[in-house]
């Protein structure tokens, strides 16, 4: 093998990642087809690992990575990585939320506007020769209060793009303060519960945020809201969504992420609850693509390699 530091890429990446890493002085093995057993067999040879989300980075795998100096996560979420083991072992972790935050912000707004204006329903009807103007009367975003739950890269990008829509923006982050501005009101979660018409979720999946949005919590909002979730589906269950929609606590939902995104592994209860959601016209789905644009695919590489060069 080469005397250069070795990097193994175990997921599909934009092809620009290879020359970017080679220019930074690394030898790259691009193996997007590789499966867990082979990774565990080979991982001790590598100084760096580039991943998406195919393979959990748990302790049994990481214990084999005896020469590993860093992991590069092509994306934002870290919920499949044993962060405690990395800290114990001195393995650096780089992720790239800066690479897809603009994509997430645009998608969240686009999907909300589509829901408000019945774009999907109206399009399907017109294609069938149905010209129903009254049944597709829209809802305006202007004048509404939007709560942003989590003010990291994604929440900030969403709020920045939203600022031109003549809305009031309330932002809450349990772990940040002093980020308010002329267009963003920093606030408590309780204020969002009192005042928001729309809630957009931008938090990572942690033990604290898993199933954070219970029916009781949603009942404590002072008025019915629209929910946007482009973060992690596990923060709210199918069952909670259905109950809140049935009770009118939720007026509608934009869901780019689901409690379980592997349809074939649904439990019987999940199948039933998902089908209820799928039958609703006031729910808009997409397959975890909010951050998945042609531009973000390449920008993530640039962000990752910059961090690897500067910190590894």
Active-site amino acid positions: 232, 261, 288
Which residues does 1 contact at the CB level (< 8 Å), separation at least 6?
27, 45
Residue written as tokens 């910059």?
306
Nearest to 159 by CA among 179, 138, 189: 179
Which residues does 183 contact at the CB level (< 8 Å), separation at least 6?
159, 163, 169
Supply 68's token pair: 């590993």
Instruction: Report the residue count for the chain.
Output: 312
- Say if residues 244 and 221 touch (Cβ distance below 8 Å): no
Q: What is the rounded distance in angstroms from the CA atom of residue 144 to the CA atom of residue 166? A: 8
């Amino acid at each position: 093998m080469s005397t250069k530091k070795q990097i193994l890429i175990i997921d599909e990446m934009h092809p620009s990642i290879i020359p970017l890493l080679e220019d930074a002085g690394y030898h790259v093995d691009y193996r997007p087809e590789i499966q867990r057993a082979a990774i565990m067999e080979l991982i001790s040879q590598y100084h760096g690992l580039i991943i998406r989300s195919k393979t959990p980075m748990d302790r049994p795998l990481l214990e084999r990575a005896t020469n590993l100096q860093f992991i590069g996560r092509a994306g934002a979420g870290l919920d499949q990585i044993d962060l405690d083991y990395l800290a114990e072992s001195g393995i650096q972790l780089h992720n790239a939320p800066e690479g897809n935050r603009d994509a997430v912000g645009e998608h969240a707004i686009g999907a909300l506007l589509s829901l408000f204006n019945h774009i999907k329903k109206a399009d399907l009807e017109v294609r069938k020769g149905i010209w129903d103007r009254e049944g597709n009367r829209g809802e305006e975003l202007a004048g509404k209060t939007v709560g942003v739950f989590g003010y990291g890269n994604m929440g900030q990008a969403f709020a920045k793009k939203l600022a031109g829509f003549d809305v009031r923006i309330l932002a809450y982050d349990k772990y940040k303060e002093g980020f308010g501005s002329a267009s963003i009101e920093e606030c408590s979660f309780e204020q969002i519960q009192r005042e928001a018409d729309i809630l957009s979720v931008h938090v990572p999946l942690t033990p604290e945020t898993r199933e954070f949005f219970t029916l009781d919590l949603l009942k404590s909002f002072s008025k019915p809201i629209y929910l946007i979730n482009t973060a992690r589906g596990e923060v709210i269950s199918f069952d909670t969504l259905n109950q809140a929609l049935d009770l009118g606590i939720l007026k509608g939902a934009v869901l780019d992420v689901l409690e379980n995104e592997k349809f074939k592994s649904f439990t019987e209860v999940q199948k039933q609850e998902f089908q209820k959601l799928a039958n609703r016209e006031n729910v808009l789905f997409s397959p975890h693509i909010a951050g998945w644009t042609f531009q973000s695919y390449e920008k993530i590489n640039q962000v990752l390699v910059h961090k690897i060069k500067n910190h590894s």
